[in-house]
Structure formats: structure tokens, C-alpha cells
């Protein structure tokens, strides 16, 4: 029987048709494993009844950055995803080879996020990039790429986006609703760079640590994605409790960021947490020999807020320890907003009714 939405054409991915108002899991074939086992990338397509944007969500482009996988699982389980306008293409594990090896890279040690747009005859990374570019990105108008810090490092939940020449991208970054947005140009070979060249409005969400789940980082991602989907017209705007709206101010844009590096090798005792406001010259930690000799302080090279940090105390001279961003807004205000995030996300987490990961 024809429905009143029957005018909307089916969505097609790799030969599978997804009818309007339905969802499908589609497998994108990639090179086999060397143990004579087939391998494919699972893609979940939700094709709405009504026209609208086509949004991709990509997780684990770096194979050990697994928070995005859980973020996508929760987004897909939100009840209102069944009522979207447009099409959602969710790819929780893009770098399936790295994911299997719990590694950031491909088996040939290449970085998938430096291999876009890819090629059919190139390295394994280039082939995987080509598959994603051709099947997924070529069909999209918008994208959100989900990352974490590298292993033994942790990022404060934040958006990275090139704001200078695209107000739609800036709107997405602001709509995500987290206090920290870092204005960063795209890097050649990255998924985001290729997406920009293809005219796809794309932002990156960075939060947490590789190979770990972190409830706040996960909630920040789920909440942000649903908010972006509202802002671009895929979901109906949800009424939010006045407390949530008034306490969390619009995001603040970081104009500049810099890494503080280990002044010497040794055992590092950090005294500055993620989200802390720091002044130029402030002590962030101490590095000493295992017996406590030869101690020297680690000092902030500029004032700002700590948005990324190393979690491993064993450091070699030159190693990146703290990522400090300076903001257009007063740094004290940014730090207070960051303090509020956990609490605010607590109150909006009811959408997906599950116990938190602890």
C-alpha cells in the first residue's frame, strides 16, 4: 500500500536499496584477512520518510579510538532516530583492520587519516579511504568524524572545525553544544580535508582516550550529534529544561593552542587536570629521576585552558604533556563552563535510558 511519503526515492549503497522510512545494515567489502576470512565494514543506514540532509557519522578512523563506536551505538538506539528527515549513514568502525589489532594504524603502519581521498591501487590505507570516499562521502551533505586522543593521552570533549570560510560548519560546531571549539584548518590527506574539498560540511569531535570508554565523553558525543541533527533539520528541535539552557553558555572558540613539552626525561607528577585554567609560567607538574633527584618543574608556556593531556608518567625530553588552548572569552569563564558539562550531560542523558558506563 502506498504511503503519503512514497514519493521519496530509496537510498542505495553498494547495490542495496533502503526504502524511505526504513533502516538497514549494509556490509562494505574490504580486503580479506590473511587467515582466509572475509572482512567488511558494517554500515547502518537510516533512510527517513522525508527529504533532508544526508549525514555520515564515522568512528574508529584511528582503529584504537573506540569511543565513537559506543557513541554511534547510542545514537542509533535513540527512539527519535526512527523519525528523521533525510538520511543517516553511521559507520562505527571505519578502520576495521586497526580496530581488530587495537591499533591506530593499518597493518602496514599507515595512518588512514592521512590517506584520503584514497585510491583503488594504492596501499591498504589508500584502498580503505577510497571505499569510504566513494561509497559514503560521495552521498553526503554533512559529516561528523569521531576521535579520541592517542593511547595514554586524553582530550577534553571538544569540537575541531575550520571556521574561517564556512558559516554552516561553524553553525554545526556551535550546535554541538560543548564549551570548547578549536578552530583548526584541515590537514591534507585527512578525512575532514577530503570532505571539505567535496563540499561536505564536516566537524570532528575529539574526546577521551584511545582504548577506553568514558561516560562523559560518550554522552557529550551523543548529545552533540542529536543537537547537530536538530540544527540542520534532520530532527525536530527538542525542548530543553530551562536550567540546561541558561547555565551552559554558547561554546567558546579557541583561537590558538600549543603543547607544553617535557623539559627533561624522567617521572612526571602532573598537578594540572584537564579543563583547568592556567596562567603563563604556572607550574603544571614536576619531572624527576626515579629517586627524586634532578627535579624540574613543567611550566605553562602560555595562559589558557588545558584541553589535552598525557596520562603516562614516564616521559622523555620533548614529549608533549599538556595541550593548552587560549580562548576569545575569559579563561576563567571557559573553565567554569567545562566544570558544568558533566552535570548538564547528566540531565540530558535520559534520552537513551541505560545505566552509565563506570
Q: Under DSSP, is residue 262 helix (H, G, I), strand (E, B) or coil?
A: coil
- Shortest spacing between CB 62 and Zn ion, in angstroms: 4
Query: Looking at beta carbons only, is 8 or 62 nearer to Zn ion?
Result: 62
- Shortest spacing between CB 302 and Zn ion, in angstroms: 24
Query: Looking at beta carbons only, is 65 or 170 nearer to Zn ion?
Result: 65
Binding site for Zn ion (CB under 5 A): 62, 65, 147
Residue nearest to Zn ion (CB): 147
- Shortest spacing between CB 73 and Zn ion, in angstroms: 18
Query: Looking at beta carbons only, is 54 or 103 nearer to Zn ion?
Result: 103
State how far the alpha carbon of 349 is from the alpha carbons of 13, 40, 71, in Å. 32, 32, 12
Q: What is the 3-state secondary structure (H, E, C) of 40-76?
A: EEEEEEEECCEEEEEEEEECCCCCCCCHHHHHHHHHH
- Shortest spacing between CB 321 and Zn ion, in angstroms: 19
Rounded Cα–Cα distance for residues 305 and 251 (Å): 14
- Shortest spacing between CB 68 and Zn ion, in angstroms: 9
Cell representation of residue 160: 575541531
**Greatest CA separation found in the chain?**
80
Query: Looking at beta carbons only, is 39 or 187 nearer to Zn ion?
Result: 187
Q: Exposed/middle/buried for 19, CB within 10 Å: 0-12, 13-18, 19+?
A: middle
Rounded Cα–Cα distance for residues 299 and 256 (Å): 18
- Shortest spacing between CB 82 and Zn ion, in angstroms: 30
Query: Looking at beta carbons only, is 65 or 154 nearer to Zn ion?
Result: 65
Query: Looking at beta carbons only, is 58 or 252 nearer to Zn ion?
Result: 58
Report the C-alpha dihedral over residues 259, 210, 224, 234, rounded to 10 degrees: 120
Amino acid at each position: 500500500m502506498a504511503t503519503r511519503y512514497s514519493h521519496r526515492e530509496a537510498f542505495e549503497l553498494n547495490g542495496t536499496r533502503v526504502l524511505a522510512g526504513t533502516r538497514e545494515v549494509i556490509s562494505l567489502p574490504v580486503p580479506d584477512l590473511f587467515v582466509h576470512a572475509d572482512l567488511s565494514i558494517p554500515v547502518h543506514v537510516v533512510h527517513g520518510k522525508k527529504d533532508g540532509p544526508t549525514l555520515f557519522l564515522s568512528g574508529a578512523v584511528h582503529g584504537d579510538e573506540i569511543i565513537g563506536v559506543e557513541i554511534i551505538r547510542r545514537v542509533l538506539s535513540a527512539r527519535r532516530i526512527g523519525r528523521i528527515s533525510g538520511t543517516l549513514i553511521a559507520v562505527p568502525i571505519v578502520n576495521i583492520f586497526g580496530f581488530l589489532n587495537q591499533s591506530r594504524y593499518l597493518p602496514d603502519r599507515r595512518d588512514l587519516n592521512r590517506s584520503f581521498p584514497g585510491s583503488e591501487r594504492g596501499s591498504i590505507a589508500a584502498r580503505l579511504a577510497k571505499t569510504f570516499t566513494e561509497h559514503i562521502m560521495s552521498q553526503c551533505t554533512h559529516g561528523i568524524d569521531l576521535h579520541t586522543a592517542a593511547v595514554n593521552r586524553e582530550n577534553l570533549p571538544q569540537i575541531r572545525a575550520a571556521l574561517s570560510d564556512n558559516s554552516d560548519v561553524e553553525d554545526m560546531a556551535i550546535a554541538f553544544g560543548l564549551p570548547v571549539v578549536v578552530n583548526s584548518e584541515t590537514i591534507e590527506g585527512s578525512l575532514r580535508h577530503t570532505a571539505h574539498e567535496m563540499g561536505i560540511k564536516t566537524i570532528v569531535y575529539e574526546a577521551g582516550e584511545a582504548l577506553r570508554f568514558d561516560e562523559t565523553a560518550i554522552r557529550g558525543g551523543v548529545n552533540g550529534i542529536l543537537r547537530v541533527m536538530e540544527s540542520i533539520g534532520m530532527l525536530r528541535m527538542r525542548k530543553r529544561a530551562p536550567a540546561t539552557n541558561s547555565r551552559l553558555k554558547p561554546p567558546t572558540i579557541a583561537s590558538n593552542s600549543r603543547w607544553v613539552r617535557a623539559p627533561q626525561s624522567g617521572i612526571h607528577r602532573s598537578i594540572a587536570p584537564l579543563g583547568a585554567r592556567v596562567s603563563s609560567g604556572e607550574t603544571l607538574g614536576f619531572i624527576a629521576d626515579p629517586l627524586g633527584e634532578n627535579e624540574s618543574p613543567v611550566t605553562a608556556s602560555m595562559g589558557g585552558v588545558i584541553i589535552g593531556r598525557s596520562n603516562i608518567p614516564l616521559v622523555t625530553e620533548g614529549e608533549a604533556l599538556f595541550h593548552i588552548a587560549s580562548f576569545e572569552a575569559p579563561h576563567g569563564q571557559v573553565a567554569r563552563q567545562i566544570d558544568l558539562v558533566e552535570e548538564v550531560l547528566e540531565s540530558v542523558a535520559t534520552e537513551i535510558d541505560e545505566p552509565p558506563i563506570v
